[in-house]
């Protein structure tokens, strides 16, 4: 038994494709939801002994998991192994009282809602299907159904977004009292319609984005949220609504801590004991292979120890907790570490030889990846 404790399941269907999105998605295809779930369950059965008996987290991501045919989504939820945290990504316009009940009855205890923005003109730039009121309604519907762990996704750096638009988005998100928020800078993904239309504009505004990032961090930490990962924030356990809970996303935390995980479905990635495989994105080939008793078409990669250590450093430094240097020492350029520490971007505890921990300072965290790259040996 290998005992992997984190399971990702990809549900690719969406009502339409938003211009900025390059996730593995397929539009519509109502008629194929059942065969896709059949294939997912076959892949789960094939990989079942990779998983621990009781897994820690399951994450249903997309695409739009909540766009999946109701009966198929319910069937999938029933078949999944029990988990301590079961998260589903939901698009606001799909959240009805019936859907919320289906999720909660299926064991879902965390919902990640793609709000993105509360400004109608920015939602339309993003080609989103939900209005600001749809987002609010979705949160209330989930609350009424008993969901006590809601995360909101926000995007900033949208063409046409002013600093006051961003403040208003932060305020509107906070008014919904989510347990958790993920705030991403809009990325121009190569080959998307969005990049074609707005790529040049995003490049022009790149410098302003550092200020926007700080505005997000200040707004959310000022409201009592913990900035526990570069783009992620949660209520502190002492907050009244947290009720003593650690509200960090446990599934993602497993990933940032470089734990092994199993991914099912098209486009899904797995990392297990030094092997990484990615299922190819073709829906037809995935369903056909599993229907014929074969493994889905995959790309396989061996992750050598050096690569793994560098990943552990890069991912671990995204978190607000110091990283034990013992586990990443080979990946750290000691001179660079001392220089960055002297410059106030990195904090080291203990002496570097027997060294204890490494972390980014607040200023280092704003520069993020740039500092980490310098630290790499």
Ligand X SMILES: C[S@@+](CC[C@H](N)C(=O)[O-])C[C@H]1O[C@@H](n2cnc3c(N)ncnc32)[C@H](O)[C@@H]1O
Distant-in-sequence, close-in-space partners of 366: CB < 8 Å, separation ≥ 6 = 210, 213, 214, 217
* Whole-number Å distance between alpha carbons of 167 and 216: 8
CB of 55 within 8 A of CB of 44? no
Among 184, 298, 308, 339, interactor with ligand X by CB under 6 A: 184
List the structure tokens of 306.
Answer: 């050096």
Least CB distance from residue 266 to ligand SF4, whole Å? 13
CB 64 to ligand SF4: min, Å: 5
Strand 26-27, strand 323-324: pairing? unpaired
Nearest CA-CA partner of 10 in 262, 354, 330: 262
Interaction residues for ligand SF4, span 102-121 (CB under 6 A):
114
Residues 124-153 contacting ligand X, CB under 6 A: 153
Q: Are 154 and 116 in contact (CB under 8 A)?
A: yes
- The option from ligand X, ligand SF4, none interacting with 184 (CB < 5 to 8 A, set by class) reads ligand X
- Return the range that interacts with ligand SF4 (CB under 6 A); candidates 17-25, 44-52, 199-207, 354-362: 17-25
Q: Which CB, 119 or 312, lies closer to ligand SF4?
A: 119
Which residue is nearest to ligand SF4, using beta carbons? Answer: 21
- Is the Cβ–Cβ distance between 240 and 247 less than 8 Å? no
In the complex, least distance from residue 212 CB atom to ligand X, rounded to whole angstroms: 13
Residues binding ligand SF4: number (CB under 6 A): 11
Q: Is 218 helix (H, G, I), strand (E, B) or coil?
A: helix
Three-state DSSP at 60 gives: strand
Is residue 157 classed as helix, strand or coil in its secondary structure?
A: coil
* C-alpha closest to that of 364 among 345, 349, 343, 348: 345
Cα separations in angstroms, 98 against 28, 74, 176: 20, 12, 21
Shortest distance, position 176 Cβ to ligand X, whole Å: 15
Considering beta carbons, is residue 25 or 141 the nearer one to ligand SF4?
25
13 and 67 Cβ atoms separated by less than 8 Å: yes
Taking the CA of residue 289 as centre, how many other CA atoms within 13 Å lie in the half-sphere pointing to its CB? 18
Per CB under 6 A, the list member of 44, 103, 110, 114 interacting with ligand X is 114
Asked if 84 and 56 count as a contact pair (C-beta separation under 8 A), the reply is yes
In terms of DSSP bridges, do strands 55-62 and 83-90 run parallel, antiparallel, or are they unpaired? parallel
How many chain residues touch ligand X (CB under 6 A)?
17
Instruction: Write the binding mask 280 to 309 for ligand SF4: x where contact by CB under 6 A, - elsewhere.
Output: ------------------------------
Site for ligand X in 154-173 (CB under 6 A): 155
The binder of 116, among ligand X, ligand SF4, none, by C-beta within 5 to 8 A per type, is ligand X
Residue 17 binds which one of ligand SF4, ligand X, none, with CB within 5 to 8 A depending on kind? ligand SF4
Among 91, 94, 112, 151, binds ligand SF4 (CB under 6 A): 91
Tell me, residue by residue from 48 to 87, as one string, x for binding to ligand SF4 by CB under 6 A and - for no binding. Answer: --------------xxx-----------------------
Q: Does 266 bind ligand SF4 (CB under 6 A)?
A: no
Asked if 25 is part of the footprint of ligand SF4 (rule: CB under 6 A), the reply reads yes
Locus of tokens 């050598």: 304
Tell me how far, at minimum, the Cβ of 224 lies from ligand X, in Å: 22
Select from 20-28, 97-105, 300-308, 365-373 the region that touches ligand SF4 (CB under 6 A): 20-28
Between CA 266 and CA 326 the distance in angstroms is 36
Q: With CB under 6 A as the contact rule, which of the stretches 12-20, 186-194, 282-290, 323-331 interacts with ligand SF4? A: 12-20
89 binds ligand X (CB under 6 A): yes
**Is 10 within 8 Å of 267 (Cβ atoms)?**
yes
Residue 184 tokens, joined: 């991403």
Q: Which residues bind ligand SF4 (CB under 6 A)?
A: 14, 17-18, 21, 23, 25, 62-64, 91, 114
Q: Which residues bind ligand X (CB under 6 A)?
A: 20-21, 23, 61-64, 89, 91, 114, 116, 153, 155, 184, 186-187, 189
């Amino acid at each position: 038994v290998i005992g992997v404790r984190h399971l990702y399941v990809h549900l690719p269907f969406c009502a339409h494709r938003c211009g900025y999105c390059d996730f593995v998605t397929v539009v519509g295809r109502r008629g194929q939801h059942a065969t896709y779930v059949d294939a997912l369950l076959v892949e789960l059965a094939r990989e079942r002994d990779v998983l621990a008996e009781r897994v820690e987290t399951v994450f249903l991501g997309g695409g739009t998991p909540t766009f999946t045919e109701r009966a198929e989504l319910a069937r999938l939820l029933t078949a999944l192994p029990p988990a301590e945290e079961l998260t589903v990504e939901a698009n606001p316009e799909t959240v009805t009282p019936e859907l919320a009940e289906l999720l909660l009855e299926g064991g879902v205890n965390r919902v990640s809602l793609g709000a993105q923005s509360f400004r109608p003109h920015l939602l339309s730039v993003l080609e989103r299907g939900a209005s600001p009121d749809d987002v609010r309604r979705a949160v209330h519907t989930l609350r009424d159904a008993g969901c006590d762990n809601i995360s909101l996704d926000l995007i900033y750096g949208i063409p046409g977004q002013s600093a006051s638009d961003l403040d208003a988005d932060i305020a509107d998100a906070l008014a919904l009292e989510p347990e958790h928020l993920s705030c991403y800078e809009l990325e121009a993904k190569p080959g998307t319609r969005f990049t074609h239309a707005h790529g040049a504009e995003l490049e022009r505004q790149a410098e302003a984005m550092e200020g926007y990032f700080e505005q997000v961090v200040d707004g959310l930490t000022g409201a009592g949220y913990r900035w526990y990962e570069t783009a992620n924030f949660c209520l502190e356990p002492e907050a009244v609504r947290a009720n003593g809970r650690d509200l960090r996303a446990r599934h993602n935390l497993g990933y940032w801590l470089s734990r092994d995980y199993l991914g099912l479905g098209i486009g899904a990635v797995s990392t297990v004991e030094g092997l990484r495989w990615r299922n190819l994105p073709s829906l037809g080939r995935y369903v056909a292979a599993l229907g014929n008793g074969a493994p889905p078409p995959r790309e396989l990669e061996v992750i050598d120890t050096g690569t793994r250590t560098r990943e552990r450093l890069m991912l671990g430094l995204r978190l607000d907790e110091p990283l034990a240097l013992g586990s990443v020492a080979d990946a750290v350029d000691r001179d660079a570490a001392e220089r960055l520490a002297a410059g106030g971007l990195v904090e080291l505890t203990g002496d570097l030889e027997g060294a204890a921990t490494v972390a980014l300072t607040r200023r280092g965290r704003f520069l993020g990846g740039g500092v980490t790259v310098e630290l790499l040996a």
